[in-house]
């Protein structure tokens, strides 16, 4: 899960290093604010190096922009946005659901047809629920629902706990990109902590 990007070309090498070092199912790319044409070009700049490795490119962008740029799906934030995005994306593309601040929001996203729900995604101020609260939400979802659950790990060390709670996938961002050991080493470490065969 990337930070908001302005220059995708400058990030492509780091992304591919992470992909090559770990078992990555998807890259969720976020972009700095820009007009639609600029966003399409930014997405296209990342599509080939990511997709040619068999990894899905999901973008935090308008579903129409995601489709025009050849992304594999879009990540909608908030239950209302998910309800709007799903019919524009499916069945050809992945419809992701994030920014779900309550159990009710998560259930609305699932009923709307989201392909996954993400818990623990930082808000616009970078705040995330506590690890115990996140684990409780993940465990609740895993026990009751079949739609895959993605849990956001703020630190690599949280991955073990989130997997034990029942997360199907782990989303990780700054903990990889800012690791002083380098992105490939950090990604490999994160992957090794899964311990259950689930992709990172």
Give the ranges where the chain is alpha helix by DSSP (H): 8-21, 36-51, 63-69, 79-89, 103-112, 131-144, 159-165, 174-177, 183-192
CB 57 within 8 A of CB 46: yes
How far apart, in whole angstroms, are the C-alpha atoms of residue 108 and residue 114?
9
**Which two three-digit tokens encode residue 86?**
């799903």
CB 100 within 8 A of CB 117: yes
pLDDT tens digits, 143-192 = 999 999 999 999 999 999 999 999 999 999 999 999 999 999 999 999 99
How far apart, in whole angstroms, are the C-alpha atoms of residue 181 and residue 144?
38
pLDDT tens digits, 71-130 = 999 999 999 999 999 999 999 999 999 999 899 999 999 999 999 999 999 888 888 999
Q: Which domains, from first to last, does the chain contain?
A: 8-192 (3.20.20.70)
Give the Cβ contact number of residue 61 at 10 Å. Answer: 24
**Which two three-digit tokens encode residue 160?**
């073990």
How far apart, in whole angstroms, are the C-alpha atoms of residue 12 and residue 9?
5
Angle value at C-alpha 98, between 174 and 146, nearest 5 degrees: 115
Considering the entire predicted model, what is its pTM?
0.92
pLDDT of 196 > 70? The answer is no
């Amino acid at each position: 899960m990337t930070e908001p990007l302005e220059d995708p070309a400058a990030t492509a090498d780091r992304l591919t290093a992470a992909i090559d070092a770990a078992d990555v199912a998807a890259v969720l790319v976020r972009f700095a604010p820009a007009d639609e044409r600029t966003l399409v070009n930014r997405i296209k700049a990342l599509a080939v190096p990511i997709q040619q490795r068999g990894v899905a490119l999901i973008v935090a962008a308008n579903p129409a922009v995601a489709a025009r740029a050849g992304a594999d799906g879009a990540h909608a934030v908030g239950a209302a946005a998910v309800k709007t995005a799903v019919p524009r994306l499916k069945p050809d593309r992945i419809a992701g659901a994030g920014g779900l601040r309550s159990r009710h929001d998560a259930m609305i996203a699932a009923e709307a047809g989201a392909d996954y729900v993400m818990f623990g995604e930082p808000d616009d101020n970078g705040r995330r629920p506590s690890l115990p609260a996140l684990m409780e939400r993940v465990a609740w979802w895993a026990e009751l629902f079949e739609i895959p659950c993605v849990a956001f790990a703020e630190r690599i060390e949280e991955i073990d706990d989130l997997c034990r709670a029942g997360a199907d996938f782990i989303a990780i961002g700054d903990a990889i990109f800012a690791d002083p050991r380098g992105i490939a080493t950090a990604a490999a470490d994160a992957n090794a902590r899964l311990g259950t065969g689930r992709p990172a």
